[in-house]
Structure 1
Amino acid sequence: MSHPVSRRDFALGLAAGAVAAGVAGTSHAADEPTVIPVPPPPPKPVSKTVCFVGGYTKHAPPGGAGNGQGIAVFEMDRESGVLTPITTYTDIASPSFITLSADNHFLYALSEIDDYNKDGHGSVTAFAVDQKTGSLRKLNVVSSGGAVPAHLSVHHSGRYVLVANYMGGCVAVLPIRSDGSLGEATDVVHNTGPRQPERAADNPQGNFAVSDHSGSHPHMIRSDPSGRFVIADDAGLDRVYVWTLNLTTGKLIPAKTPYYDMEPGSAPRHFEFNHSGRIMYNLCEQNSKIVVSSFDPLTGVITNIQTVSTVTPHFRGSTLAAEILISASGKYVYASNRLGDSLAVFAIAADGTLSLQDEVWMHADYGRAMMFDPSGTFLFCANQRSDAVTSFKVDKNTGQLAFTENFTPVGSPTTFAFMNTQV
């Protein structure tokens, strides 16, 4: 016999079934382990590559004033070479050459001026460098020992800064204190010699550019790789000077052969050594030549073995060579030509001699300083009259340069320093 079911009883039955199903489902879920998502590990901190660029500011002697603001600081993208601005340190006049200490803890910048003091000297500023950010903190400022300094370097010992005072006709030795700041000069040496011609006899055809040969004009000073000798190029006297440095007194002592005469009028400007320290490559500004010499690290004797042009045989017109670099591999030498606006690429033979492999357009005007980034992947050029930095990708196997098409605006750039930050 059938029993009718009301709609109320049917609804209650559905509700009871739903509750039972819910209880059963809850009981089943409780039997499974609870999974708590684990957040991904934080990214590992990585260092960054910082690029410092100096140049001419409005405060400079006549002919040197420029559009720069001070020392511009950039971060370099390690894949593309692009420079992204971080900040600019403006409390300095015409830092036309800068250099870092070997451990990157300190940066030293000259001011290419002639009114730091009543004696008409330039100056050198010491900075502490933040190892995580690359930011600069001024330590102190001292006289460069002469007018219009053009170059400075840290001695191999790390105890002195060496300065070439271009218009002062002298080189100076500045002691580095324990905190990285600088003391007053322990020695200032003035060079003298006969007047040289404005142009060299072996100039490129059609070169109307001249170099100042009115007197002594030291253009670079640095110790050789062994640290035994200190060497200076004097572009006004066409000489290469050689000293030893007394590390206790900070005095320069002339080597047995105190100087070497270069081609009259050639204006030796900057030099590099090969990795053994036994081959010297000396770039002469006025005739755009590289003089290759053997160098005895025990005696300081320099013996010329080759002279090569930094411009190709088809070049005609005015040019002034500016900077010389050697690749990290030790297989290639690079030289920049102002006015000619080119970069010369040389292969180094087993005996240290050079052969011109390529000539590359700078894509800008009046390229002065060049520098590799710390990895040697990119070569950067400071183009003074174009107010821009350009860069090239380096083929480490062939030495060839490929323009990155990256332009970085910097007023009147003339010098670089690179470092990798610490993490």
Structure 2
Amino acid sequence: MNPLNLTLTLTRRTALAGMAATVAMPLRAADPVVRLIAGTYAREGGKGLYPITYDAAADRWQVGMPVAGIDDASFGVKAPRGPWYVVKEQTAGQVSSVGTDWAKQATVTTGGADPCHAAIDGTGTCLAVANYSSGSVAFHRLDPRTGAPADPTVFRHQGQGPVRDRQAGPHAHWVGFSPDQRWLHSVDLGADAIFAYRFDATARTLAPPVMAWRAPPGSGPRHLIRHPRLAIAYVVCELSSQLIALTATPDGRFATRTSVSTLPAGFKGTSFPAHIAIDRAGRRLYVSNRGHDSITVFALDGTGMPQPIQHIPSGGDWPRFFLMLEDRQRLLVANERSGSAAVFRIGADGKLAATGQTLAVPGVVFLGRV
């Protein structure tokens, strides 16, 4: 039986066992149901990928039986006209192409340890993967017929930071292709840097990396998001709890514009930001804080400069990832340590309100829309 048909009904304030890192499924214009998938860490009780559906008319969530055999799927990305690509975050890192039935089609090494992020170029023919523990980026060509990834070309970063237990060497944490498809960027937490790779989409090649931006020492940059209209990018720093706005220049580099804390004034505890996202209008930006266990909402002015307007509890412990469903006015937060995903309503002003709906998902670390 197709695991997507094996569902459990989740109603308001009802826990759903087994939802982890979520990967979302494509929404047809006439389809009233949003389809997602969640990925999980096996060491925290996850059993693989978990299909999820959301019926907006009934305000009802349904979680399917886990798809076994896809463990430690800490991130996934879908090609424009192809399969999903899901990383396996283990010492012997792997990436697999996965079909619509969530069966593996092809699996290759990422040439490094603990892959944690991936990106596909605009043509859907090249895949980049960030290997965290190895501090490297794997570049895979994709088969134009099947979408299967080839063995990678691996580029290792250089550098370190002053936080000895976290920055003794490079730790690539994010990859993404620039809107003009001329560059691949990688955010490196260990090296306190963003690296830029010249990308040739026709030849499907990368040049070795160059320094694109130097972060404040010890800040530990983690994830980056670009403004949908302006030549501005935002990087969230895991070790300093900073959101830094950057000017993106045509030569692939970045320049610092401003920095603001992701935490409320007066907070004295330990906290590590994780994920960052921006709405389609470029008016609101969101960051998850692990430790403070919150989502911070920033207003963006006409020049793209951020100002915090809300700190709201994440509805669980250790919010690693969250998924925005703007067309359904919902935001789903993956709280890793509590094994739960909390559902929030996105207001007209971009602020969040708790719905009281919580999905029980052991080890949830990624959410995606198919």
TM-score normalized by the length of structure 1: 0.77
Residue 236 of structure 1 and its aligned partner are, at CA, apart by: 0.6
Whether the 8 Å contact between 1:81 and 1:378 is mirrored in structure 2 is: no
1:168-210: CA deviation from partner (whole Å, max 9, x where unpaired): 111011111121221111x2100112x31218xxxxxxxxxxx
Alignment of 1:337-352 (within 5 A): 337-352=289-304
CA distance in 1, matches of 2:58, 2:180: 35
Post-superposition offset of 1:226: 2.4
Q: Which residue of 1 aligns with 2:323?
A: 371
- Secondary structure of the 1:237 match is coil
Q: Verify the 8 A CA contact 2:215 2:221 in the aligned structure 1.
A: yes
Question: Deviations 1:140-184 (Å, cap 9, x if unpaired)?
Answer: 111012111111121222111110001111101111112122111
Where does residue 33 of structure 1 map in the other structure?
Answer: none
Give how far 1:80 is off.
6.1
Distance 2:255 2:208 in 1: 18
- What does residue 416 of structure 1 align with? 367
Distance in 2, Cα, partners of 1:277 & 1:81: 35
Match of 1:261 among 202, 205, 214: 214
Q: Distance in 1 between matches of 2:328 and 2:290?
A: 23
Compute the displacement of 1:45 (Å): 7.1
CA distance in 1, matches of 2:338, 2:84: 26
Residue 288 in 1 paired to residue 241 in 2?
yes
Q: 2:140 aligns with which of 174, 178, 181?
A: 174
Query: Which residue is 2:117 aligned to?
Result: 151
Q: Is the 8 A contact 2:128 2:137 kept in 1?
A: yes
- 1:225 shift after superposition: 2.2
Q: Which stretches of structure 1, 4 residues or longer, exceed 2 Å deviation after superposition?
A: 44-48, 79-83, 246-251
CA 1:79 to 1:244, structure 2 compared with 1: closer, same or farther past 3 Å?
farther
* Letter in structure 2 aligned against 1:366: W
In 2 relative to 1, CA 81–401 (structure 1 residues): closer, same or farther, beyond 3 Å?
farther
Alignment TM-score, normalising by the size of structure 2: 0.88
- Alignment partner for residue 69 of structure 1, among 38, 43, 47? 47
CA positional deviation for 1:127: 0.9
Write 1 or 2 for the structure with the bigger share of strand: 2
Secondary structure of 1:88's partner? coil
- Aligned counterparts of 1:100 and 1:176: Cα–Cα separation in 2: 12
Take 2:61 and 2:147, find their aligned partners in 1: how far apart are those partners? 28
Asked if 1:96 is matched to 2:58, the reply is no
Task: Check conservation: 1:111, 1:123, Cα contact below 8 A.
Answer: yes
What is the Cα-based RMSD across aligned positions, in Å? 1.8
Q: What's the offset of the Cα at 1:138?
A: 1.8
Which secondary structure does the structure 2 equivalent of 1:325 belong to? Answer: strand
**CA distance 1:80–1:284, change in 2 (3 Å):** farther
Contact 1:110 1:151 (C-alpha < 8 Å) held by counterparts = yes
Rg comparison, structure with higher value: 1
Aligned equivalents of 1:45, 1:379: Cα separation in 2: 22
Alpha-carbon distance, 1:376 to partner: 5.3
Q: Percent identity among equivalent residues?
A: 26
Is 1:197 matched with 2:162?
Answer: yes
Per the TM alignment, residue 82 of structure 1 is displaced from its structure 2 partner at its CA by: 3.9
Aligned to 1:235: 189
2:354 alignment partner in structure 1: 403
Structure 2 CA distance for partners of 1:81 and 1:149, relative to 1, 3 Å: farther
* Bigger relative contact order, structure 1 or 2 (CA pairs below 8 A, ≥6 apart): 2
8 Å CA contact 2:121, 2:177 repeated in 1: yes
Q: Measure how far apart 1:404 and its partner are.
A: 1.1
Structure-2 separation of matches of 1:156 and 1:239: 24
> Whole-Å Cα distance in 1 between the matches of residues 259 and 229 of structure 2?
20
8 Å Cα contact 1:238/1:262 also seen in 2: yes
1:262 partner amino acid: A
Secondary structure of 1:352's counterpart equals coil
Partner of 2:271: 319
Task: Tell me which amino acid in the other structure corresponds to 1:290.
Answer: L
- Find out whether 1:389 has 2:358 as its counterpart: no
Cα–Cα, structure 1 residues 231 and 87, in superposed 2: closer, same or farther, change >3 Å?
Answer: same
Q: Distance in 2 between matches of 1:53 and 1:344?
A: 23
Does the residue aligned with 1:385 lie in a helix, a strand or coil?
coil
